[in-house]
Structure 1
């Protein structure tokens, strides 16, 4: 199942810099592993915001929830999820 996911990051301004750096490094490693595994095929920064649009490809809602809640930044994220379905006018079946 494909999901369009918007993630907005809201780190506390008084967060210890070492803690912030650790969170961001762990987030990068976790998200890159999901990309390598094919679970996170698209990741786009939203220009001018600390936010992204992503496409995640999971077996079901439960897997999506598990992957998102495993994000090290999860406590600091506002997440909006939209399930996707193939559009009948789409030309390529494998995109």
Structure 2
């Protein structure tokens, strides 16, 4: 099941700088792990924002929720999730495999 996920990050400005660095480094490590497993299929930065647009491939809503909660920056995120379904006019559906 594919999900379009927007994550907006708002780390408090008064967070201790070393803690902030550690959080960002562990977030990057976790994101790379999820990408290498194929669960986090696409990751794009939103220009001008501390935000991203991502595509996740997860079996269930609860599975996606668990993954998002596992992100070190989760407590500082506002997240918007949109489940995706195949569109009948998608060229890969209309034409078939290439």
Bucket of the pairwise TM-score, normalised by the shorter protein: over 0.9
TM-score (norm 2): 0.93
TM-score (norm 1): 0.96
- Structure with bigger helix share is 2
Q: What RMSD, in angstroms, separates the aligned Cα atoms of the two structures?
A: 1.0
**Where in structure 2 are the equivalents of 1:29-68 lying within 5 Å?**
29-68=29-68
Look at both structures and tell me which one has the larger radius of gyration over its CA atoms.
2
CA distance in 2, matches of 1:64, 1:7: 13
Deviation per residue, 1:61-81 (Å, 9 max, x gap): 111000000000000000000
- Give runs of ≥4 in structure 1 deviating > 2 Å: none
SS of equivalent residue, structure 2 residue 40: coil
